[in-house]
A and B are shown apart, each in its own frame.
Chain A
């Protein structure tokens, strides 16, 4: 393993963006990083709030209209290589808010995360369990490690 991949695997900076979920996934993800029981730092995963520092973007929620542009901007601000993890049913396919107006285009929901930014790993669950979040982060890692 080259130094590049090795170093990338040993320090993963994660940024969270909440785009209008119900707080359930959000708190489970914060729980997974802040709670000593799960403690993501032992898996070399660090929490950051600065897109310039981040490697992995974790997105929850069905992306409401007002959150669409901020999400794009933040995605753009992350330097390559980057990975996006969509966590929770809402982020994957809209959850209960999918098709909430039938055939009429929704005024509130801009759609699941993969319509806004490319998603690399999907973590299902309502709400996601902390263990699953760590697993999802790990499954996105090869993408980072093998990138140029």
Chain B
């Protein structure tokens, strides 16, 4: 990629990590090629997690297939079901009631909060800072409780159905009250944490200048989401999504592209999410939450891109007799794998896991379509 990084010398040894490793948590194989403990090359093998969700979706009724996409990932489950429903809505021309859109946005932003907090906690754990990790898990618990209150489950809480949201996810006065209180509390806790985090000299010295991805490289590697924004490229699909038309928020960017800017991007995005949720609570429109007046018909392959906590999520399928055909899903972590391998090069082996974690990997999402060629 870069000239001075490409200039590699003799590779001394290979350090294989995984598929069970405390730094990684998820099962994947990582081969680090080191020379005197400095990583010269890295190779990541995904596909360990491949279960074939698209294969199972093939031929299922569209409602069932939508709720199946939830099981792709336990972290961004709502995003998957949201985007999958969005494909159906675009294909069938269903108009979603405004209240349902607002509830979807609230769920999406709560999910972004919990995903980013989890990311920060995992990052702290890989840094070796157990106290920060525990603190973040504690803050995250507030979000989990809110998600459980609205979605009914702590993890698989997907709210969207074709044409609106589930009746379970209706926000009545009590829930709105609890939501706004929870968000206030969260803001306070996050503020404290962010102040503590940026003023910690030991942590800052550990993460500054490590795992740098330059913006041009990030674009060439096709990174997406916060990973791209942390390198200084202002790109957020939320600015173009009709769901976010009535919300005001800033697109957070950082300049350096190192682990510090990656972590800080997530910290600041949390505050933007809080802002969006507060706007949504304030302006929550009245009306129905599902639009049931639509008819099933055959449609060609339709695609939809949305911004999820980790980046750009792509879903596409065609409908035939109300059943899903040719389902393709591309998750953001797939796009960020290049950045993970690239940013680890040239750093100490202890930082290698950190460089991977900074791109917010989710390999259960990533292990999608893999073509098995038998020779």
Do A and B have CB atoms closer than 8 angstroms in the complex?
Answer: yes
Q: Which residues of A contact B137 (CB under 8 A)?
A: 31, 34-37
Query: Does residue B202 face the partner (Cβ distance < 8 Å to A)?
Result: no
Q: Which residues of B contact A74 (CB under 8 A)?
A: 20
* B49 contacts A101, C-beta separation under 8 Å: no
* B154 contacts A28, C-beta separation under 8 Å: yes
Q: How far is the CA of A72 from the CA of B27 in the complex (A)?
A: 15
Q: How far is the CA of A22 from the CA of B50 in the complex (A)?
A: 10
Question: What residue of chain A has the Cβ atom nearest to residue B18's Cβ?
Answer: A70
Query: Does residue B206 face the partner (Cβ distance < 8 Å to A)?
Result: no
Question: What residue of chain A has the Cβ atom nearest to residue B135's Cβ?
Answer: A36
* A21 contacts B52, C-beta separation under 8 Å: no
Q: How far is the CA of A80 from the CA of B141 in the complex (A)?
A: 36
Q: Which residues of B contact A66 (CB under 8 A)?
A: 19, 27, 47-48
Q: Which of A1-44 contact B (CB under 8 A)?
A: 17-28, 30-31, 34-37
Question: B-facing mask of A87-109, CB < 8 A → 1, else 0?
Answer: 00000000111001100001111
Once A21-B364, A101-B55 are accepted as A-B contacts, the answer to whether A108 and B50 lie under 8 Å apart by CB is yes
Query: Does residue B178 face the partner (Cβ distance < 8 Å to A)?
Result: no
* B20 contacts A36, C-beta separation under 8 Å: no
Q: Which residues of B contact A25 (CB under 8 A)?
A: 74, 155
Q: Which residues of A contact B27 (CB under 8 A)?
A: 18-20, 64, 66-67, 70
Partner of B26, one of A18, A37, A49: A18
Query: Does residue A117 face the partner (Cβ distance < 8 Å to B)?
Result: no
Closest CB of chain B to A82's CB: distance in Å? 16
Query: Does residue A126 face the partner (Cβ distance < 8 Å to B)?
Result: yes
* A109 contacts B155, C-beta separation under 8 Å: no
Closest CB of chain A to B102's CB: distance in Å? 26
Q: Which residues of A contact B1 (CB under 8 A)?
A: none
Q: Which residues of B contact A64 (CB under 8 A)?
A: 27, 48-51
Give the size of the chain A interface in residues (CB under 8 angstroms).
37
Q: How far is the CA of A49 from the CA of B73 in the complex (A)?
A: 23
* B25 contacts A18, C-beta separation under 8 Å: yes
* A37 contacts B138, C-beta separation under 8 Å: yes
Query: Does residue B5 face the partner (Cβ distance < 8 Å to A)?
Result: no
Closest CB of chain B to A134's CB: distance in Å? 15
Q: How far is the CA of A22 from the CA of B72 in the complex (A)?
A: 6
Residue pairs across A and B with CB atoms within 8 Å: the count is: 115
Max chain B Cβ within 10 angstroms of own Cβ: one of A23, A62, A95: A23
Q: Which of B63-79 contact A (CB under 8 A)?
A: 68, 71-75, 77
* A35 contacts B74, C-beta separation under 8 Å: no
* B52 contacts A28, C-beta separation under 8 Å: no
Once A18-B25, A74-B20 are accepted as A-B contacts, the answer to whether A23 and B75 lie under 8 Å apart by CB is yes
Closest CB of chain B to A117's CB: distance in Å? 14
Max chain B Cβ within 10 angstroms of own Cβ: one of A24, A67, A97: A24
* A36 contacts B75, C-beta separation under 8 Å: no
Query: Does residue B118 face the partner (Cβ distance < 8 Å to A)?
Result: yes
Q: Which residues of A contact B49 (CB under 8 A)?
A: 20, 64
Query: Does residue B318 face the partner (Cβ distance < 8 Å to A)?
Result: no
Query: Does residue A129 face the partner (Cβ distance < 8 Å to B)?
Result: yes
* A96 contacts B68, C-beta separation under 8 Å: yes
* A107 contacts B156, C-beta separation under 8 Å: no
Query: Does residue A127 face the partner (Cβ distance < 8 Å to B)?
Result: yes
Closest CB of chain A to B171's CB: distance in Å? 23
Query: Does residue B56 face the partner (Cβ distance < 8 Å to A)?
Result: yes
List 13 interface pairs A-B (beta carbons < 8 Å), by A numbering.
A18-B26, A20-B48, A22-B72, A24-B75, A28-B155, A37-B137, A64-B49, A64-B51, A66-B19, A67-B19, A97-B56, A108-B50, A109-B51
